[in-house]
A = this chain, B = another copy of it.
Amino acid sequence: MSTTPQAAPRRATITDVAREAGTGKTSISRYLNGEMSVLSPELRARIEAAIARLDYQPNQMARGLKRGRNRLIGMLLADLTNPYTVEVLQGVEAACHALGLMPLICHAANEVEMERRYLQLLTTYRVEGVIVNALGVREETLRPVGGGGIPAVLVDRSVDGLVTDMVGLDNRAAAELGTRHLLDNGFDEIWFVVQPFEQVSSRQLREAAFREAMSAQGEQRGKSAARGHTLVLNLADADEVARSLAELDRAIDAAAQASDAAAATGNAARIALFAANAPVALCLALHLKARYGADWQARVALLSIDDPDWAELTGVTTIRQPTYEIGYRAVEFLHERIEGVQTIARDCLLPGELIVRASTLR
């Protein structure tokens, strides 16, 4: 049955409790702050009873105003659409809970302007610190943070000119690990596919490490060196995506022809795609499936940084990031800063884990 939800009656305040318990506000405050040693058992009992009777709950805002700290931290997210973000968020949540912090979540939805506005808003709520999964771009936007402003820790990527703690994947090692895996499995042609990376440090590092690993391959391999390419996939622009995918298609077709030709000599060319993160991998997989059918993996191998749930289902090899831990550590770092720790800015690089699946094995 539906009845009318009613407006909440005014909540009890510390004054109410004091009156109810027949004492002063100070004693109530002491009780709330656990200073039991300075409260007679008798008074204490009265207070307890009064609190229970009034269902009293101290007002965090008022406490915060007085103490100058409200246990609020901001969490600025670039893109909730990315499973990476959600996983990090879980770590953040857990750590906050453990440390008695309360996260204010803001989703910039890939818009720089939003990022700026939210940062300002957070500042207005006097959060004690912020964890920022920045859009990248320039320091400009993040002015209120780090350095002279609120303590901050960056997640996944660093921002030029911003001196703060940062925690994320060891991108160099991860990209190298993936490239090596592909090389070791005899692929002749490897395409590293990544979103525009001028602005985003983690993408830059991954791409650079990929190229280096390709250059360094020579020694290990008996046969001729595998070719490496970098393809930029701008997921924000459907036309650009289409163009990039077309380029990829041509390469795949060419490899297939070469492969057919070489098949006679038992030396078929093999092509692999190395996706810089899950959104890219998903885009690639969807395209390949549309183009080559359910059996697309027989034609192209796919390896991805990030380990979305569909990877296991489709047998795609991945490099899993310790996302939960990244979020957790970020909060720990921030907490230390809030407590006044004064070390130099720290970088915490966590290793990725290669999860080999059918896709990259033959």
Q: Is A292 an interface residue (CB 8 A)?
A: no
| Chain B proximity of A278: nearest CB distance (Å) | 9
Known interface pairs A8-B151, A57-B120. Does A163 touch B313 (Cβ–Cβ under 8 Å)? no
- Report yes or no: B147 in contact with A121, Cβ–Cβ below 8 A: no
- Report yes or no: B61 in contact with A70, Cβ–Cβ below 8 A: yes
Stretch binding the partner chain, chosen from A100-108, A213-221, A262-270: A100-108
In the complex, what residues of B have CB within 8 A of residue A314's CB?
A: 310, 313-314
- Report yes or no: B146 in contact with A5, Cβ–Cβ below 8 A: yes
Stretch binding the partner chain, chosen from A38-46, A86-94, A175-183: A86-94
Most chain-B Cβ atoms within 10 A of its Cβ — which of A64, A123, A310? Answer: A310
Stretch binding the partner chain, chosen from A20-28, A198-206, A336-344, A348-356: A336-344
- Report yes or no: A5 in contact with B282, Cβ–Cβ below 8 A: no
Residue-wise, chain A 72-87 has the 8 Å CB interface mask toward B (1 for contact) of 0000000011000010
- Number of A residues near B (Cβ < 8 Å) is 71
| Stoichiometry (number of copies) | 2
A121's nearest neighbour on chain B, judged by CB, is: B102
In the complex, what residues of B have CB within 8 A of residue A151's CB?
A: 5, 7-8
A164's nearest neighbour on chain B, judged by CB, is: B5
Q: Which residue from B1, B97, B149, B345 sits with its C-beta under 8 Å from A2?
A: B345
Q: Is A34 an interface residue (CB 8 A)?
A: no
Q: Which of A102-149 contact B (CB under 8 A)?
A: 102-107, 109, 114, 120-121, 123-126, 146-149
- Report yes or no: B61 in contact with A90, Cβ–Cβ below 8 A: no
- Report yes or no: A80 in contact with B70, Cβ–Cβ below 8 A: no
In the complex, what residues of B have CB within 8 A of residue A237's CB?
A: none
Excluding A59-B126, A61-B65, A104-B105, 15 further A-B contacts by CB distance (< 8 Å) are A2-B344, A3-B163, A5-B151, A5-B345, A6-B147, A9-B148, A57-B123, A58-B124, A59-B65, A61-B126, A89-B107, A105-B105, A282-B313, A308-B310, A314-B314
The 27 sampled A-B contact pairs (Cβ below 8 Å) are A2-B163, A2-B346, A3-B163, A3-B345, A4-B345, A5-B146, A5-B164, A5-B165, A59-B65, A59-B126, A60-B126, A61-B61, A61-B64, A61-B65, A61-B70, A65-B65, A80-B89, A80-B90, A86-B86, A93-B109, A94-B109, A102-B125, A285-B313, A286-B313, A294-B315, A309-B310, A313-B314
